[in-house]
């Protein structure tokens, strides 16, 4: 063999060796496969996490919608009951006075007086009662967020075996 053919053979053998070890069944393919698997796992985890957030959001919307519907139903039944009670009071007072119209007028005057008092007391009522209720609602929402964060931390924490204490 000539010197030139040895050099060509050596270079081609070297290229074949590099192909087998780095690009063929070697380290590069193994790393590439593991990286692709890791990327696929991360994509799947993100998709599942998004689906979990979506389901959680749907559950919260369902709870709020159910509470709103229940509030409307209770308000409607309560309002209807209140109207019937006012009619009964007006008829009863009219029976006592001897004139039904005066019974209705008396109940209307009482309602007007209550409305006037509530109008004058409203700013204090809003500041004291309604804002305290709103603050309680905020604290409940903050507790829900804190609990959600803690559960997320626990779910994301790797499950490690407990280390044994060496005495």
pTM tops 0.85, yes or no = no
Tens digit of each residue's pLDDT (9 = 90 or more) over 53-71: 999 999 999 999 999 999 9
Domain boundaries, the chain: 7-98, 100-155
| SS3 labels along the chain | CCHHHHHHHHHHHHHHHHHHHHHHCCHHHHHHHHHHHHHHHHHHHHHHHHHHHHHHHHHHHHHHHHHHHHHHHHHHHHHHHHHHHHHHHHHHHHHHHCCHHHHHHHHHHHHHHHHHHHHHHHHHHHHHHHHHHHHHHHHHHHHHHHHHHHHHHHHHCCCCCCCCCCC
Tens digit of each residue's pLDDT (9 = 90 or more) over 113-128: 999 988 887 777 667 7
Residue 36: its pLDDT value, please?
A: 83
Question: At residue 1, does pLDDT exceed 90?
Answer: no
Question: At residue 143, does pLDDT exceed 70?
Answer: no
């Amino acid at each position: 063999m000539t010197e030139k053919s040895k050099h060509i053979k050596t270079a081609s053998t070297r290229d074949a060796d590099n192909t087998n070890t780095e690009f063929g069944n070697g380290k590069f393919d193994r790393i590439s496969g593991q990286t692709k698997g890791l990327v696929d796992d991360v994509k799947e985890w993100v998709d599942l996490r998004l689906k979990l957030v979506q389901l959680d959001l749907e559950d919260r919307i369902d709870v709020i919608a159910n509470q709103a519907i229940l509030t409307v139903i209770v308000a409607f039944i309560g309002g209807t009951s209140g109207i019937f009670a006012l009619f009964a009071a007006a008829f009863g007072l009219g029976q006592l006075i001897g004139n039904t119209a005066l019974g209705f007028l008396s109940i209307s005057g009482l309602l007007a007086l209550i409305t006037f008092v509530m109008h004058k007391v409203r700013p204090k009522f809003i500041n004291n009662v309604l804002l305290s209720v709103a603050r309680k609602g905020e604290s409940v929402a903050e507790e829900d967020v804190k609990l959600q964060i803690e559960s997320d931390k626990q779910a994301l924490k790797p499950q490690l075996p407990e280390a044994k204490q060496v005495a």
